[in-house]
Structure 1
Amino acid sequence: MTSALRLGTRRSKLAMAQSGHIAEAVQQITGRSVELVEITTYGDTSRELLAQIGGTGVFVTALREALLSGEVDFAVHSLKDLPTAQPDGLVLAAIPVREDPRDALVARDGLTFEQLPDGARIGTGSTRRMAQLNAYARSHELRIETVPIRGNIDTRVGFVRSGELDAVVLAAAGLSRIGRSGEVTDFFPADIILPAPGQGALAVECTAVNADLIAQLAELDDPYTRAAVTAERSLLAALEAGCSAPVGALADVLADGQNHTEMRLRGVVGSIDGSELVQLSTTGPVPTSHEGIVALGRELASEMLAKGAAGLMGERAR
């Protein structure tokens, strides 16, 4: 009897839902059962704000160690949590079709963002969201207070239900994956809040020596999602910014009928109080190689750095 494949996953409800979805797909492809192996990461146990502990790799390192030690055969990550440098010995075998990359509002009394009261307290664990929310509020003469928070989706939404906060901002994809999209009271278009690089996408990772599994997992890969997130992560890497920096990026592969002809990449860096924002975009033919996609991200990052982006990335949420 063929042994079960071991899938390494974080223990959170969201991570388990994401991993369960991938496990079902892998089981269909391979014909082998898939066992979820729950692994606790530093980001799960620390109570500090992500911006204070650095963010980069805190939800990933323990999973990667389990892969390299042979404790698990493959792992599922939220792509936005992955450091941009790929470690030796591991490969991103698949990046499946991306979920909605937008950020979403969960507010009291079903309020949209525009309906929030003057001085509304909005919770988020992301400096990127804080910077863009505060910049939008400044430009539209709105008065809001962005409040740094930690915790899983239940904890964050609980701040609203208890009345401690007027609203929280969460990734739309995460709410969708655990069946809670119905609680969203508003979605933020990308011209208000650009998402984190890779937001809404999953990464399926395994060891480089496992050629058979790499080939099987590759069936889950979506080339358009991979191209888009590669451009976003290239921009992030070129800015030399980590997962907790106030950087947003979104690449769209634009279709002309049945043909995907152009890629638009948008990037933003801002001060947490929203007083300064560097936001640029570029559109051109879809690069035909991985190197071309990486170059697109680097070029936009270079333009952003020339506009002063470097001075906005060293902030931390207080």
Structure 2
Amino acid sequence: MTGRVLRPEGPQPAAPGLIRLGTRRSRLAVAQSTQVAQEIAKATGADVALVTVTTEGDISRTPLSQLGGTGVFVSALREALLAGDCDIAVHSLKDLPTAPCPGISLGAVPLRADPRDAWCARDGMTLAEMPPGSRVGTGSPRRAAQILSRRPDLVIEDIRGNVDTRLARVGVDLDAVILAAAGLERVDRTEAITERFALDVAPSAPGQGALAIEVRSEDLDEVLLSRALQALDHAETRSAAAAERELLAALEAGCAAPVGATASVADGWLALRATVYQADGQSQLESVMGVAWNGSSDSEGIARNLGNKVARDLLERGAAQLADLGPRGERS
């Protein structure tokens, strides 16, 4: 029997046969958390209640590159999890700090959605068709550098806000915005996409398109939660994410760093492509490596080793100086 997905008002007390799922309040976060809740309810037969939490990243209008790193979208959810206000928490994996969090474990990484960046422009134009001087909105230094590397004649504007807010500015005070294709798919706004950037041209943020399901470490073996996590976890996506995140950690870079990385598993091979950009996009370093992958118990360790190896290659070739990387990159 499939359980129900509940959206109660206010905190929900723990109860037998109920899994409380913590999520941010944004439309996108609730949409992707609802999808996770539906999968859990189907796999376990348990009722799943969404517990919404407001994070610093949701209420601050400060540019993300200045706000303090990836943890601005994560910390409040983790606090709710540790306080027992929810049983699991759903994050966009690209928002998750690479440093471990005491008392919390990464319980599952579901099958990844489209990891590409989406170009959303007025009049259905592609990047190549944009007139010189067109104004492009993004809050990502990586996306800004990638656009400037291909079209240095465009003007980058820093923007914040949810998906609908950003799209509403296209054709008003902006000519285009760049968003994650996965996010647009999850909120049914794919009609706004005029181009999806190829990953070999514009590698995405580490973890983009994937979700992270966190759980209290002490609850990993709890029967109902264990069944839910096993149903959600996707081995290939988990290994790809591990490679990308280890690269980010080894580079000592956070969300403010212009770093793109995309890993994938195919035909028993895990490949990782990573690019570090100069902020103005006029210079970049790329590294591509791979390793045999068979889904064994040590696959995640193999993936992390690959990420570390690619990072060392980039650092040896001057990536830290090129992109001003260092200990202040990961602030959370």
TM bin, normalised by shorter chain, reads over 0.9
Is 1:144 paired with 2:154?
A: yes
Q: Does 1:242 align with 2:254?
A: yes
Distance between the aligned counterparts of 1:76 and 1:262, measured in 2?
28
1:264 corresponds, among 271, 274, 278, to 271
What SS does the corresponding residue of 2:89 show, helix, strand or coil?
strand
Give per-residue Cα distances to partners, 1:107-154, cap 9 Å, x unaligned: 00111111111121111110011111111225xxxx111111111101
DSSP 3-state at the match of 2:20:
strand
How many Å separate the matches in 2 of 1:2 and 1:51? 42
- CA distance in structure 2 between the partners assigned to 1:77 and 1:218 by the alignment: 17
Cα distance in 2, alignment partners of residues 36 and 206 from structure 1? 15
Partner in structure 1 of residue 170 of structure 2: 160
Which residue of 2 is the match for residue 312 of structure 1?
322
User: Segments of 4+ in structure 1 off by > 6 A?
Assistant: none
* Alpha-carbon shift at residue 3 of structure 1 (Å): 4.8
Counterpart pick for 1:208 among 217, 233, 237: 217
- Same amino acid, percent of matched pairs: 49
Check conservation: 2:290, 2:306, Cα contact below 8 A.
no
1:88 deviates by 1.7
Q: Is the 8 A contact 1:122 1:145 kept in 2?
A: yes
Q: Determine the C-alpha separation between the residues in 1 that align with 2:303 and 2:291.
A: 11
Q: Matches of 1:312 and 1:71 in 2, distance apart?
A: 43
> Could you tell me whether the CA contact under 8 Å between 1:10 and 1:39 is conserved in 2?
yes
Instruction: Between 280-289 and 58-67, report the one with greater CA deviation.
Output: 280-289
Q: SS of 1:160's equivalent?
A: coil
Provide the aligned length of Structure 1 versus Structure 2: 306
73-82 vs 245-254, greater mean Cα deviation: 245-254
Q: CA–CA distance in 2 between the matches of 1:234 and 1:311?
A: 20
Which residue does 1:258 correspond to in 2?
none
Contact 1:133 1:192 in 2 (8 A): no
Amino acid corresponding to residue 259 of structure 2 in structure 1: V
Secondary structure of 1:242's match?
Answer: coil
Question: In the TM superposition, what whole-angstrom CA distance separates every residue of 1:137-177 from its partner, at most 9, and x where no partner exists?
Answer: 25xxxx1111111111011111104x211100000000000
Q: Which residue of 1 aligns with 2:61?
A: 47
Does the aligned pair in 1 maintain the 2:145–2:279 contact within 8 Å? yes
Cα distance 1:44–1:314, how it changes in 2: closer, same or farther (>3 A)? farther
Aligned CA RMSD, in angstroms, stands at 1.6
Q: Does residue 178 in structure 1 map to residue 187 in structure 2?
A: yes
- Cα offset, 1:302, TM superposition: 0.4
Deviations 1:225-280 (A, max 9, x none): 0011110001000001112211110002122xxxxx21210111112211221111
TM-score, scaled relative to structure 1: 0.92
SS in 2 for 1:302: helix
The answer on whether the counterparts of 2:149 and 2:281 sit within 8 Å (CA) in structure 1 is yes
Residue of structure 2 in register with 1:90 after alignment: 104
Q: How far, CA to CA, are the matches of 1:177 and 1:93 in structure 2? A: 22
Q: In the aligned structure 1, how far is the partner of 2:230 from the partner of 2:102? A: 19
Q: Which residue in 1 is equivalent to 2:286? A: 279
Deviation string 1:168-188 (CA, Å, 9 cap, x unpaired) is 000000000011112101111
Aligned residue for 1:87, secondary structure, equals: coil
Gaps of 5+ in 2: 1-14
- SS of 2:177 mapped into structure 1: strand
Which string of whole-angstrom CA distances, capped at 9 and with x for unpartnered residues, describes residues 21-66 of structure 1?
0111111222221111110001111110000112221000000000
Counterpart for residue 77 of structure 1 = 91
1:284 is displaced (CA, Å) by 3.0
Q: Which runs of 5+ in 1 are unaligned?
A: 256-260
Please tell me whether the aligned partners of residues 141 and 258 of structure 2 are also in contact (alpha carbons under 8 angstroms).
Answer: yes
Question: Cα deviations across residues 76-100 of structure 1 (Å, max 9, x unaligned)?
Answer: 0000000012212111111110000
Q: For residue 215 of structure 1, report the CA deviation from its aligned partner.
A: 4.0
Structure 1 residue 292 corresponds to structure 2 residue 302: yes
